[in-house]
């Protein structure tokens, strides 16, 4: 397990109650940091999160699609932990699987609200403090779907492509600061998000991966950990692949 020095560092991990976010929060705390877990449902924390020392974790009920909820979460986090040094935007939803012509408009808006607007809201909230202190690390969780597009998942694919573009733009805006803004594009991981799509769609996504398996949340957390560390002092606005060979660009 890779480990970096996160002593005296505070990370906000959205979607941190389970899945990718939970694995990232666990790894940050194991490396000496503290993690504020912003999630729409903090009543059902994964064991890897619930067993973390209470002094090092702070579950905060947060709807990332609502800017006021995000701002309230930041105030609660700063009151408990002080400044926010790291932001990992992991909260996301898949939405239903439909052709674009049949995609329900309300479902389209919900996917964009959580995946894209949520990333924007959280970055907007924490960036001023990072800029004032001239330090920060932001990791946005995009998807291979944002590079290649998945059929019958236009809303999800579009939202993740937009997260990639947001990352590149914000990285350039903050390049003169010691603030690194990068994103990852993982292939499918076996998390609760798969409960939102059909078994047929899951098998299709697995078949596209040359390694012939899904990525694990631990593998994702390993890459995120370096991206969130002080050692990532030069790279910004970049997209890191975790697709198991599906995308080689």
> Catalytic one among 4, 103, 135, 156?
156
Beta bridge partners of residue 137, listed in sequence order:
86, 180
Q: Let me know if 156 is a catalytic residue.
A: yes
Q: How far, CA to CA in Å, does 164 sit from each of 23, 161, 197, 241, 242?
A: 22, 5, 23, 12, 14
Alpha helices in 100-240 (DSSP H): 105-112, 118-133, 144-148, 154-173, 199-207, 217-227
Which of 106, 100, 140, 134 lies closest to 120 in space, CA to CA? Answer: 140
* H or E stretch at 246: none
Which of 107, 126, 112 lies closest to 14 in space, CA to CA? Answer: 126
User: Which of 159-165's residues contact partners 24+ apart within 8 Å by CB, and which partners?
Assistant: 159/92, 159/111, 159/112, 159/115, 159/116, 160/115, 160/185, 162/112, 162/115, 162/116, 163/89, 163/115, 163/116, 163/119, 164/239
The catalytic residues are 156
């Amino acid at each position: 397990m890779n480990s970096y020095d996160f002593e005296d560092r505070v990370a906000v991990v959205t979607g941190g109650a389970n899945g990718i976010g939970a694995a990232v929060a666990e790894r940050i705390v194991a490396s000496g940091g503290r993690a504020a877990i912003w999630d729409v449902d903090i009543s059902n924390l994964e064991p890897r999160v619930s067993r973390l020392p209470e002094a090092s974790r702070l579950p905060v009920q947060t709807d990332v699609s609502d800017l006021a909820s995000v701002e309230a979460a930041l105030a609660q986090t700063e009151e408990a932990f002080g400044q926010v040094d790291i932001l990992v935007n992991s909260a996301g939803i898949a939405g239903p699987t439909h052709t674009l012509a049949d995609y329900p408009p309300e479902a389209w808006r919900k996917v964009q609200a959580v995946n894209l607007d949520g990333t924007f809201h959280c970055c907007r909230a924490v960036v001023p403090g990072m800029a004032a202190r001239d330090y920060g690390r932001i990791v946005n969780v995009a998807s291979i779907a944002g590079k290649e597009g998945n059929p019958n998942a236009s809303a999800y694919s579009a939202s993740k492509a937009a997260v990639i573009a947001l990352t590149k733009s914000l990285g350039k805006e903050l390049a003169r600061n010691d603030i690194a803004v990068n994103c990852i594009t993982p292939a499918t991981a076996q998390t609760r998000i798969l409960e939102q799509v059909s078994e047929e769609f899951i098998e299709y996504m697995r078949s596209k991966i040359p390694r012939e398996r899904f990525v694990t949340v631990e593998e994702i957390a390993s890459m995120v950990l370096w991206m969130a560390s002080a050692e990532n002092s030069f790279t910004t606005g970049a997209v890191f692949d975790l697709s198991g060979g599906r995308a080689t660009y």
